[in-house]
Structure 1
Amino acid sequence: MEEAVELSRVKHAKCATLYGNKAHEVAVESTLVRALPGFSIVGMADQSIQESRERIKSALSSIRFEFPSQKITINLSPSDLKKEGSHFDLVIALLIAIQKERFTCKDFFIFGELGLDGKIKKTNAIFPIILSLAAHIPNLRVLVPNALLPKIEQIPHIQAFGVETLHEAVLFFKEKRYQSEQAKLVRPLCENSLDIQGKSYFYASEFPFDFSDVLGQHRAKRALMIAAAGMHNLLMEGSPGCGKSMSIKRLRYILPPQSIEEILESNAYYSLHEEERELSPLRPFRSPHHTSSRPSIFGGGSTHAQAGEIALAHNGVLFFDEFPNFSKAVLESLREPLEDHRVLISRVNTKISYATKFLFAAAQNPCPCGNLFSKTHECRCSEVEINRYKNRISEPIMDRIDLYIQMSEEHSKEQGLSSKEMFTHILEAFKMQKNRGQNELNGKLNEQDTLRFCTLNDEAQERLEMAQNHLGLSQRSVHKVLRMARTIADMAQSERIHQEHLLEALSFRKR
């Protein structure tokens, strides 16, 4: 009987910790034992959790909690998994506060950092943890800081509750407020959305950087519109000041809509990188400097593998300006992320895989001095210097570029298409892709889906075979041409790829 009484004093709750970019469930247990007064936390807790004891004592004092003359023991299970993060504060404090109460909180995942006055604060780790848990735990119920609640409520199939202070958290379970609180209406991300085959996609309708600012360059704008509609990789080459970087920086605002899952996934990567971002349908845009190190772009770290620029660009744009000036190690390491849409970071302690489905955009000068294409300035480079400059980009990398645009110096005053007009065409192409049942946009289709969705009429098929023989296209290049032709056909609202669509796609391949 005495043993049963002792067991009944063990209180249970749930929390989680990040290992790499995946959340692992942690069972939190607390008990009071007959011993000299003390407070210990066991179960491979790191320094940030061990330090929480002082924060928890102060926060419990704010609700006039009297510490018993017994030893408080907190166990974090499984004991062979290292736990870290100040988000364990709230669950530990709650278990201590309700130690002698009859109610329980074991059905909830509880997250929050405590202030000395009992206020509950958010941390960057909480959102990616909950997003990861929601992917494999049905009917997930979580208690989080109020400041994080609007963001958490956007995650599908989750029941989230928010509290402001430790006192509120105790009353939440003591009075069983989770039974009386009505489910809140989820506020939509923005007013602009599309419903296609029962799924919602969100997009922004503001264009702070407009393509109408780019004068002339009609062929370049056409190429950028195709690239955006299918998320195709592109390379722009031209003299300094012709509008390469200016155009690519406007590309972000005309990219296709995103599902809520894509928006949440991108935001989780930013949270892992300790960057705070509001949920927005605007896709990410990353533009690392050409002096950036390989670990900063691809991810790394001595003990914990951190996300790099290519992971943060997931579902958005990764822009390399001055493309040939990046180090050889960085350029050659691009091969796998561009082909497999995933990067694996291996360290002694961790092996982490990040998704890298981004639109890769690059800009470069035609030669070291930049004046090779200029009609007004003389090129000062020798043929050897030009070849050395261009050979920095290897053939395997160029084979992964879908569109190559050679920009010329223009002095036109004609504005051409605006971003709003370009986005209208992209939206129609997006609807065609999703109504066809594609999970991925054209530029990110795998080999099987490329053959399934990129169907040519007889004339186009014959032309493709001729081009393959005449231009010596690799199998990868053929698939890229097919995907690009599929996007051009979608923009023309054509079910099948015709000869004119294929020829335009071929015209953007680098010879």
Structure 2
Amino acid sequence: MLSQVLSASTYGIEAFVVKVETHIETGLFAFAIVGLPDSSVKESRERVNAAIKNSGFKFPNKKITVNLAPADIKKEGSQFDLPIAVGILSATDQIQSDVLDKFIILGELALDGTLRPIHGALPIAMSARNNGLKGIILPKENAKEAAIVSDIEVYPMSSLTEVVNFLNSEHQILNPFKVDINEIFNQESKYTIDFSDVKGQENVKRALEVAAAGGHNLIMIGPPGSGKTMLAKRLPTILPPMTLEEALETTKIHSVAGILPPNTALVATRPFRAPHHTISDSALVGGGTIPRPGEISLAHHGVLFLDELPEFNRNVLEVLRQPLEDKKVTISRTKMTVEYPANFMLVCAMNPCPCGNLGNPYQQCTCTPAQIQKYMGKISGPLLDRIDIHIEVPAVKYAELVGKSSGETSAQIRERVIRAREIQIRRFKGRRNLFKNADMQTREIREFCKIDSDGENLLKNAITKLGLSARAYDKILKVARTIADLAGSENIKPEHLSEAIQYRSLDRNLWGLT
């Protein structure tokens, strides 16, 4: 007795079709699963056995062999429970259907036969469409996510019994699950926080606007309680709205990682990830025996916020350098290499010294110069090279804290950011991997960031008199280009350079870094 059921598994953020072949023959009872299954797949033997019996079907007391093809790719996850159960029931003629080769079937089985949600429904649905299949059968909690994909039929199920009934006859009368992708996109693309919630700190808000307009990485330095975290959380609200293509790519990553909430169709707001400073390097960039996306990939098209930056292990911070340049991360293992996208804005926050009160007019700093130097020295020069904007965040004044007036809303700031981004898209049209000012390399800086003699003199004085490092030169020009775009100016003017120079605090000698 032989049957074949189609299922699927993920590889990176993509999916591939898996053929679940079931062979049953007379002999002593044995239940073997082959085809490079991991432990979670092997454990499905017990779940499938109990689910079939508790659903009122007959489990064969014979020799059962299940093969997951292609057999040279590692399989993981509990989504193979349902196709294995369907394969066994089909091989024993308890399911008689001619559509098993037209549907991808997946789902985790509880011992009573009910279905539980799985990971990676969106990329699997895309794979079903790309392979010309009719549709997909999966747990109802994953239905919205899979139904985002057009041109395939999605049938949500709640139990093994329901799946068997559907395959035997009811597929002829049941209607596939549908969603309105535009309506979902509009509903999900709303933020619950706003920049108008922040009291004072107008200069920091301006720096965040510049960072958002040019896609620049940013670091905030200020005493505890000055609002650094509050400001960082609101940065995604002023970034340009996600396109549908960006939302689908981000949703695929979150789906594969298993962090997409049940009954959620789409990640339509820009992600904000804020890992704790005890995070490991593999958790940050991704890893595992079968590599999973890390925080930098979960922040794709959004913001990665590192609070208390000097508290992170140095080796953890150093692994950020290559993804910041390449906008992707490649994770290599003995038998596989997986690439995850990692195009994010890096936003960092830190205290100016160990006690946090350096420069605070309301509290006295108790740190020695050596302690401050050691504290600031935890951040390497190569990492700072990849941060364009440094901004000091002073303690909030009492009058600003209790004031009734609120600043601009996120929507007002976002309008200016969108206009600046549109200018950059036109400027870099036709250039590969170049979409915003932060992406510019030396050649583009020389071409698009030309300044007049007054600007040259201003920049020369800044570098010589303020003690700015040589690495600050290109950063200032890129940020000045963004400030000019926000002002709608074709040329970089001295006032744009002056503002950009103010955003290089960590390059000054007073911070102990040169």
TM-score tier by shorter-chain length is: 0.7 to 0.9
Q: 1:375 — aligned with what? A: 361
More off after superposition, 210-219 vs 81-90: 210-219
State how far apart, in whole Å, the 1-side matches of 2:214 and 2:358 are. 31
Cα deviations by residue, 1:4-25 (Å, 9 ceiling, x for unpaired): xxxxx64322222345555343
1:51 aligns to 2:35 (yes or no): no
Q: Quick check: 1:203–1:256 contact (8 Å CA) kept in 2?
A: no
1:215 partner amino acid: K
Instruction: Indicate the RMSD between aligned Cα atoms, in angstroms.
Output: 3.7
Distance in 2 between the 1:321 and 1:39 partners?
50
Partner residue in 2 for 1:117: 112
In structure 2, the partner of 1:162 is 156
1:450 and 1:483 in contact (8 A); partners too? no
Displacement of 1:409? 3.7
Tell me the equivalent position of 1:361: 347
**Equivalent AA in structure 2 for residue 126 of structure 1:** G
SS at match of 2:8: strand
Amino acid at match of 2:98: F
The residue number in structure 2 matching 1:219 is: 203
- How much does 1:252 deviate? 3.0
Number of equivalenced pairs: 488
Aligned amino acid, residue 296 of structure 1: A
Question: Aligned in 2, Cα 1:401/1:153: closer, same or farther, shift over 3 Å?
Answer: same
Distance in 2 (CA, whole Å) between partners of 1:410 and 1:76 is 61
Alignment-mate amino acid for residue 358 of structure 1: F
Aligned partner of 2:407 in structure 1 is: 416
Q: Does structure 1 conserve the Cα–Cα contact (< 8 Å) formed by 2:128 and 2:135?
A: no
2:146 to 152, 155, 161: 152
Q: Identify the residue that residue 426 of structure 1 maps to in structure 2.
A: 417
Letter aligned with residue 295 of structure 1: S
Q: Percent of pairs identical after alignment?
A: 38
The residue that corresponds to 2:380 in the other structure is 394
For 2:474 and 2:135, how far apart are their aligned partners in 1? Answer: 45
Which residue pairs with 2:448 in the alignment? 455
Deviation at 1:149, TM superposition (A): 0.7
Q: 2:510: which partner in 1?
A: none
Indicate conservation of the 8 Å contact 2:122/2:146, yes or no. Answer: no
Contact 2:51-2:111 within 8 A present in 1 as well:
yes
- Secondary structure of the equivalent of 2:367? coil
1:142 maps to 136
> Does the alignment pair 1:291 with 2:278?
yes
Give the gaps of 5 or more residues in structure 2: 508-514
Aligned to 2:166: 172
Name the aligned partner's letter for residue 157 of structure 2.
Answer: V
Shift of 1:222: 0.5
SS class of match (1:429): helix
Distance verdict in 2 for CA 1:331–1:59, change over 3 Å: closer
For 1:106, the equivalent position in structure 2 comes to 101
Report the Cα distance in structure 1 between the residues aligned to 2:222 and 2:59, rounded to whole angstroms: 72
Alpha-carbon shift at residue 348 of structure 1 (Å) = 4.4
Pair 1:321–1:17, CA change in 2 (3 A) = same
Partners of 1:450 and 1:482 within 8 A in 2: no
Q: Assess if the C-alpha contact under 8 Å between 1:145 and 1:164 holds in 2.
A: yes
TM superposition score normalised by structure 2: 0.81
CA distance in 2, matches of 1:234, 1:400: 9
Quick check: 1:335 aligned with 2:328? no
Q: Is the 8 A contact 2:215 2:345 kept in 1?
A: yes
Change (3 A) 1:77 1:402: same
Q: Which amino acid aligns with 2:267?
A: S
Residues 69/294 of structure 1: CA separation in 2 closer, same or farther (3 Å cut): closer
TM-score relative to the length of structure 1 = 0.81
Separation (CA, whole Å) in 1 of partners of 2:461 and 2:169: 76
Displacement of 1:235 in angstroms is 0.9
One-letter amino acid matched to 2:320: L
Contact 1:442 1:484 in 2 (8 A): no
Whether the 8 Å CA contact 2:9–2:124 is kept in 1: the answer is no
Q: Is the 8 A contact 1:12 1:104 kept in 2?
A: no
Q: Which amino acid aligns with 1:269?
A: I
SS in structure 2 opposite 1:224? Answer: helix
Provide the secondary structure at the position in 1 that maps to 2:338. Answer: strand
Q: Which amino acid aligns with 1:46?
A: D
Deviates further, 322-331 or 259-268:
259-268
1:461 CA displacement: 9.4
Partners in 2 of 1:424 and 1:214 — Cα distance?
19
Alignment partner of 1:281 is 2:268: yes
Quote how far apart the aligned CAs of 1:364 are: 1.9
Q: 2:300 corresponds to which residue?
A: 314
The C-alpha deviation readout for 1:479-507, integer Å capped at 9, x for no partner, is 6545534543443345x343254554444
2:392 aligned with 1:403: no
Does the Cα contact within 8 Å between 1:442 and 1:486 map onto a contact in 2? no
Q: Give how far 1:308 is off.
A: 2.9
Amino acid at match of 2:349: A
Distance 2:122 2:106 in 1: 12
User: Could you tell me how far apart the structure 2 residues matched to 1:215 and 1:68 are?
Assistant: 69
Counterpart of 1:56 in 2: which secondary structure? helix
Q: Of 50, 69, 72, which residue of structure 2 is paired with 1:77?
A: 69
Aligned letter for 2:385? D
* 1:221, distance to aligned residue in structure 2 (A): 0.8
Asked whether the equivalents of residues 223 and 395 of structure 2 are also in contact (C-alpha less than 8 Å), the reply is: yes
Query: Is contact 2:185-2:268 (8 Å) kept?
Result: no
Structure 1: where are the runs of 5+ without partners?
Answer: 1-8, 194-201
DSSP-derived class of the 1:188 partner: helix
